[in-house]
Amino acid sequence: MADTTVQSIDIDAPAAACFAVAADIASYPEWATGVRTTEVLESDADGRVLRAHFVIDGMVKEIAYTLVYTYDEPSSISWSAEPGDDLKSLEGSYRFSPLEDGRTEVVYALRAEPGFTIPGFLRRQVEKQIVGTALRGLRERVEKVAE
């Protein structure tokens, strides 16, 4: 299995607000760079997404996959991909940790193994770019919604 890429960012909003934006999977194409479409396939009784299909711009090619979600509200959201042609495996998570000043530290961890050949150094660079871009997009969306 590939190494995990981990980055963090501080967001000027409470953990619950960060969790709410990250859990709104259907809105990802509006703010998550590279996400072309999402389709919610299954939700729980509380309306949280349990399974969703994604199509993303994978730079080299369009990538489609389905994620399965678990929640520990408002502390974390985790996901893993169902096996498919484009991904051998993908696991990720957001962790939301309240800071003393009302802000939240968000830690994003991602581990991916594509179903197609890509050099290891390039895969790691792509993961770093995905994680960094996702965190900045999440911060921008949360802070905009919190205004």
Domains in the chain, number: 1
The number of beta carbons lying within 10 Å of the beta carbon of residue 24 is 17
- DSSP 8-state assignment for residue 25: G
Q: Structural domain of residue 31, as residue ranges? A: 5-146
Candidate from 16-25, 54-63, 138-147 with smallest mean pLDDT: 54-63
The number of beta carbons lying within 10 Å of the beta carbon of residue 100 is 5
- DSSP 8-state assignment for residue 101: T
- Residue 127: pLDDT band (50, 70, 90) is confident
pLDDT at 17: 96
pLDDT digits (tens, 9 = 90+) for 68-98: 999 999 999 999 999 888 788 899 999 999 9
Specify the pTM.
0.89
Mean pLDDT of 18-27: 96
Q: Residue 51 sits in a domain of what CATH number? A: 3.30.530.20
